[in-house]
Amino acid sequence: MNKKIVTILSVLIVLVFIGYIIFDSTRPAGLAKNEDQNSQIQQIPDAWKISNEFKVTEGFLKAVTVSPTGKIYLGGDSFVSCYDKDLKQIWSTKTSSPVTALSNFGDTVFASTAEQIFVMNATGKVLNEWGPFEDSCMITSVSSNRNFVAFADAGNKMIFILDKGGEVKKMIGQNNRHFVIPSPFFDVALDNDNNIYVANTGEHRIETYSIDGVFKSQFGEAGTAPGAFCGCCAPPHFALIPEGFVTAEKGINRIKILNKQGEFVEFVNSKNNFIKSVPLDLASADGVTIYAAYPGDSKLYVFNRKTP
């Protein structure tokens, strides 16, 4: 009986050993595959260059938006400033609370704080204050078009749609579709056709809704591949451009362009010394010049495409 047990144990040990050999022989190939993929990513050159670095002196920089006429608006702790295309200051306004996000349409600027939205005119005068809205509100993004203003509330994990009078017309995220927001990065963008684009960061994707809150489409996945979104919550920031989207990431702090279907086009900036956990807020009016506000050093980075 003891001899049989010893024989069985010997067989089991041999099988385990053989299994380990098989596992160990396949593991380097898997690692090599990952290394090859990472190497291929590293070999993709940045198609854009930093054409300007502008140090903000009004306070801690957090947000940027730009108008089709070339005006650049910067916001942070606690200010909103307007610059011309040559980055010469036109005006600067102090705010009662830190600014978390900016948007503009025509001559109107919308500056969000954690709980409110300041409505400002072309000279920086505050015309109105909307909110507070909901308990535990944490506004992280604001966007506007001709008829509506949308903002993202990371505290309540909802998108609010307002008319131009500040009245809430719709809230997205209450019923069947919910947003997964692990950290205070939650971006929203309105286009001129009243499509609403939302960064569902915990799911690593950008989703599209109608102005009535009807889900239309989505794209994105987690990963380090060029077309994927890396980090625990991504994309933390994105902006609409004629070609599609320009997106920021964290974990691997890179900026890239995706087409309208969400497919990778090119890297704007992937080889840098930006802090991995501090993504850049993005803005572009034409897709030719991209502006990025970096809280890590309170600088505005201006990107333009490299010439052949």
- Between the alpha carbon of residue 3 and those of residues 7, 9, 185, the distances in Å are 6, 10, 65
**What are the DSSP calls for 153-177, one per residue?**
ETTTTEEEEEETTS-EEEEESSSS-
**What are 276-288's pLDDT values in tens digits?**
999 999 999 999 9
With beta carbons less than 8 A apart as the criterion, state whether 123 and 115 touch.
Answer: no
Pairing mode, strands 108-112 and 117-120:
antiparallel
So what's the pLDDT on residue 177?
80
So what's the pLDDT on residue 80?
98
Distance CA 270, CA 57 (A): 27
List of the chain residues with pLDDT < 50: 1-37
**What are the DSSP calls for 252-299, one per residue?**
S--EEEEETTS-EEEEEE-SS---TT-PPEEE-SSSSEEEEEETTTTE
Distance CA 81, CA 248 (A): 23
So what's the pLDDT on residue 16?
36
So what's the pLDDT on residue 40?
53
Question: pTM of the entire structure?
Answer: 0.87
**What are 156-214's pLDDT values in tens digits?**
999 999 999 999 999 999 877 899 999 999 999 999 999 999 999 999 999 999 999 99
Torsion of CA 151, 233, 206, 105, to 10 degrees: 30
Distance CA 178, CA 170 (A): 15
Closest by CA to 198, choosing from 254, 255, 140, 115, is 140
With beta carbons less than 8 A apart as the criterion, state whether 120 and 113 touch.
Answer: no
So what's the pLDDT on residue 42?
65
So what's the pLDDT on residue 62?
98
Record the tokens describing residue 51, joined without a space.
């054409």
**What residues does 168 pair with on adjacent strands?**
162
